[in-house]
Amino acid sequence: MSDKVKFEREFPIQVSPSLLYKYISTPSGLSEWFADNVNSRGEVYTFMWEGSEEQAKLVNKKNDEKIKLRWLEDEEDGDDSFFEMRIQVDEITKDVSLMITDFAEEDEVEESKMFWDNMVSELKHILGSS
């Protein structure tokens, strides 16, 4: 187990859960907002950003609900942290939220939160959601 700190973020998004799921779970969807390019081969997703490349292993996936990934580098280091994107629908209002669970070093938590704020802001822009 690492010394990383777990944090969660909630982002209300006005879009159908099934459409949102395509953007958080498919390489083509993730390529539109999360990374410059994303490929997947089996359970391994490769994320590319301006010349750097990171690989993540699919830990868990549930249709129209969530995707959970672990960076291979963390797994090799014996670190069991992960990042998860989960769709939450309020039973009464039917409001849709994207719930992010991630881990970061204690001194990088705020920076990681800002990263997710920026990424989800881009996703909302693409989806035409406020």
Residue 74 has pLDDT above 90, yes or no: no
Burial of 13 (0-12, 13-18, 19+ CB in 10 A): buried
Residue 130 confidence (pLDDT) above 80: no
Q: Residue 60's Cα: distance from chain center in Å?
A: 12
Q: What is the DSSP letter of 2?
A: -
Condensed to tens digits (0 to 9), the pLDDT of residues 85-126 reads 999 999 999 999 999 999 999 999 999 999 999 999 999 999
pLDDT value, residue 3: 81
Q: Name the band, by pLDDT with cuts 50, 70 and 90, for residue 2.
A: low
Q: What six digits make up the tokens of 129?
A: 């959601």
Q: Give the separation between CA 110 and CA 7, rounded to whole angstroms.
A: 10
Question: What pLDDT is recorded for position 77?
Answer: 85
Is the model's pLDDT at 1 over the cut of 90? Answer: no
26 CB contacts (<8 Å, ≥6 apart)?
none
Residue written as token pair 């992010």? 100
Cβ-contact 46, 57 below 8 angstroms: no
75 has pLDDT over 90? no
Domains delineated in the chain? 5-127 (3.30.530.20)
More confident residue, 130 or 126: 126
Query: What HEC string does 34-92 produce?
Result: CCCEEEEECCEEEEEECCEEEEEEEEEEECCCEEEEEEHHHHHCCCCCCEEEEEEECCC
Write the pLDDT tens digit of every residue in 14-70: 999 999 999 999 999 999 999 999 999 999 999 999 989 999 999 999 999 999 999
